[in-house]
Structure 1
Amino acid sequence: MKDIQKVTHVQNIRYDKEAEALYIIDQTRLPNEEKEIRLETAEEMYTAIQTLQVRGAPAIGICAAYCLYALARTIPEEEPEAFLEKLRAYGAYLNSSRPTAVNLSWAIRAMLATAEEHWNEERAALLEALYQKAAAIHEDDIAKCAAISEYGLTLVKDGDGILTHCNAGPLATSRYGTALGPILLGTERGMRFRVFSDETRPLLQGARLTSYELHRAGVDVTLVCDNMASIVMKNGWVQACFVGCDRVAANGDAANKIGTSGVAILAKHYGIPFYVLGPTSTIDLNCPDGDHIPIEERNPEEIKTLWYEKPMALSDIKCYNPAFDVTDHSLISGIVTEKGICRAPYTESLAALFDNKT
């Protein structure tokens, strides 16, 4: 029997109901400093999402839900219609912070729908309904991550090498995470994996966050530069690729951190299965394909100066800094959700997830 070990999970988002205070771990400080910060104003919340103090599609959604509850508490006692108008304005403001992750708009819509359902009740009852909805979104993601982890674990075996890109662990979601979930769950059950973590330029989520989380959990993790993925695959060290996603289109095209599509192309060349892991809230059936997924472009200074004492490029050099790319559905071996593993044709398998309401 394999030894069962306790894996320590990072609690990235915490709402203290007694103090009525929202806290997040500031991911921009990791791995050298694990520091909680409190979010109180709409501007602080917007900044936290926009500057990646909180990041990862599910985590952004969870955070946004708690943000709207916290902001609802600050709206002065006024007519229900005025309250709803102000809350909708807060929702639109937060939703504009990052355009690609569908969980952000999904969570905001869910919170606004709850407010509209209870808009004519006493203020205390309305606020309690909003808190319960935010907490339910959080708990639901924990349950979904556990289910995704179970399904994903069926795709690998003890001793396998797994390559991942960006960060889709507890910091980006909740509890086990999505792409890292099977690894962490398997480790708890005594399985051993060899994980290769792409550094994920230019924001280095793989270096700062994924390798941090896996090392903290006792997983054998090796950090590699993004341009080393090909050689570790060629060496036979990788049996599967696990990545997260920020949005999945109806045809199975998947947006994830920039560089993901390159990993998928390499995996196809070397005959390595490439899996996308994410909750059904990340699937956008209203988006027909990857060409319709908005791609966020970020500050060029992330490439030229962010991690350096001195700039690594001349100040007037042009930069192209998309935050995401889209992996074509033809390169994806399976999309792992909390409801099961979808296979091609994705137009059918993804739609079937939503036909079955159970």
Structure 2
Amino acid sequence: MAVEPPALQVLRWDEPPDGPVLVLLDQTRLPAAETELVCTDVPALVRAIQTLAVRGAPLLGIAGAYGVALAAARGYDVDEAAELLEGARPTAVNLGYGVRLAAEAYRTAVEKGGTEGEAAAAALAAARELHRTDAAGSARMARLGLGLLDELLPGGSLRILTHCNTGALVSGGAGTAFAVALAAHRAGRLRQLWVDETRPLLQGSRLTAYEAARNGMPYSLLADNAAGSLFAAGEVDAVLIGADRIAADGSVANKVGSYPLAVLAKYHHVPFVVVAPGTTVDLGSPDGASIEVEQRPGREVTEVTAPPLPGAAAAARMSVAPPGTRAYNPAFDVTPPELVTAIVTEEGVLSPVTGDGLVELCARSRQVTIS
């Protein structure tokens, strides 16, 4: 029987003698080195979020909550810290949810006459509870997602295509879409995990391949534009992706490149499944057009950046376009609900994907984001 690897320490709260800190696994340095990044204040955490040292919708919510707790514990202005954190990345709705959750816990404690220390402790308790519930939700999503695949594709082994990174690196637990693939692997049902490289920042090749190798999963890496040939050859049984925001009509914002996969999956009659926690649902965004899509710096497209080698102070960059080239670099794209076979959350599976069904699914959750 295969031995499971130790859990990844992606994010942790620490209290050294000189004051509390938030310690992150620096994902910009993976897979070359497992290096920790120590945040002593909110501006440092905001930089870590914006440079993608910490990333992924569920984990951003957790990081945002801990960021508020960090500000409170170190005596900084909590409202100012919350505003900075919530604006760090506009598309991932979980970030704002986590920030508001911890900030509300802090304010409630203050309103009840608590000391600054007690209010800071309340914010930290809220962050820790969100961390715990996200891990539990990840386990439920893995179970429900594998059950859905058993219904859609009964018997035999599975060839799953995934995009970006949706594993333990984005979650308090095993992840979202990757957690389903991992559950299939542990059940002996995963024949092949197809990993999109996920240009331009290569979250697939750097991070998903890292997690797949770490867990002993059968996987192969492919250039994003090779996915069509896989579908045409009949080599994909299902597509599993995560989400950074799900609008009220079921439109799904996820890492750019997800929408083309949905179109390919629809044409080739392959299930396209979104796996995300209930906190990713934003009933305040009526449809896909209302979702703000983050625009990233053009240099991410015009340059290739290699993760820093152990001991190196900075990443190596190489230009792959003429000087002065302009680039279009949205971080996300939006997939309409009619292309989504099912949405899997910790509260259940929604299929077909409709606005009414999403509202009903959210009503069963204690953690619904309404902007």
**Category of TM-score, reference length = shorter chain:** over 0.9
Encode CA deviations 1:258-310: one digit per residue, 9 max, x unaligned.
00000000011111000010000000011100000000001100011132753
SS of the residue corresponding to residue 156 of structure 1 reads helix
Give me the whole-angstrom Cα distance separating, in 1, the residues matched to 2:147 and 2:5: 19
Q: With structure 2 as the length reference, what TM-score do the two structures score?
A: 0.90
What does residue 328 of structure 1 align with?
A: 336
SS of the residue corresponding to residue 180 of structure 1 reads helix
Aligned AA (2:257):
G
Say if 1:305 and 1:312, in contact at 8 Å, map to a contact too.
Answer: yes
Encode CA deviations 1:117-136: one digit per residue, 9 max, x unaligned.
10121222222211111100
Question: CA 1:155–1:103 in 2, change beyond 3 Å: closer, same or farther?
Answer: same
Q: With structure 1 as the length reference, what TM-score do the two structures score?
A: 0.93
What does residue 344 of structure 1 align with?
A: 352
CA RMSD of aligned residues (A): 1.6
The equivalent position to 1:107 in structure 2, one of 98, 108, 112, is 98
Q: Does 1:242 align with 2:206?
A: no
What does residue 82 of structure 1 align with?
A: none
What does residue 120 of structure 2 align with?
A: 127
**Residues 281-290 or 303-312, more deviating:** 303-312
What are structure 2's unaligned runs of at least 5 residues? 151-155, 307-316, 367-371
SS of the residue corresponding to residue 310 of structure 1 reads strand
Give me the whole-angstrom Cα distance separating, in 1, the residues matched to 2:105 and 2:138: 24
Say if 2:42 and 2:71, in contact at 8 Å, map to a contact too.
Answer: yes
Q: Does 1:48 align with 2:41?
A: no
Question: CA 1:191–1:9 in 2, change beyond 3 Å: closer, same or farther?
Answer: farther
Give me the whole-angstrom Cα distance separating, in 1, the residues matched to 2:258 and 2:241: 8
Give me the whole-angstrom Cα distance separating, in 1, the residues matched to 2:269 and 2:185: 26
What does residue 145 of structure 2 align with?
A: 152
The equivalent position to 2:131 in structure 1, one of 138, 158, 170, is 138
What does residue 66 of structure 1 align with?
A: 66
**% identical aligned pairs:** 36
Deviation at 1:206, TM superposition (A): 0.4
Deviation at 1:188, TM superposition (A): 3.1
Give me the whole-angstrom Cα distance separating, in 2, the residues matched to 1:35 and 1:285: 37
Say if 1:61 and 1:105, in contact at 8 Å, map to a contact too.
Answer: yes
Q: Does 1:353 align with 2:361?
A: yes
Say if 1:295 and 1:324, in contact at 8 Å, map to a contact too.
Answer: yes
Give me the whole-angstrom Cα distance separating, in 1, the residues matched to 2:259 and 2:362: 26
Say if 2:42 and 2:70, in contact at 8 Å, map to a contact too.
Answer: no
SS of the residue corresponding to residue 37 of structure 2 reads strand
Give me the whole-angstrom Cα distance separating, in 1, the residues matched to 2:130 and 2:80: 21
Question: CA 1:345–1:185 in 2, change beyond 3 Å: closer, same or farther?
Answer: closer
Deviation at 1:5, TM superposition (A): 4.4
Aligned AA (1:326):
V
What are structure 1's unaligned runs of at least 5 residues? 77-85
What does residue 281 of structure 2 align with?
A: 283
Say if 1:5 and 1:187, in contact at 8 Å, map to a contact too.
Answer: no
Give me the whole-angstrom Cα distance separating, in 2, the residues matched to 1:357 and 1:25: 30
Deviation at 1:183, TM superposition (A): 1.6
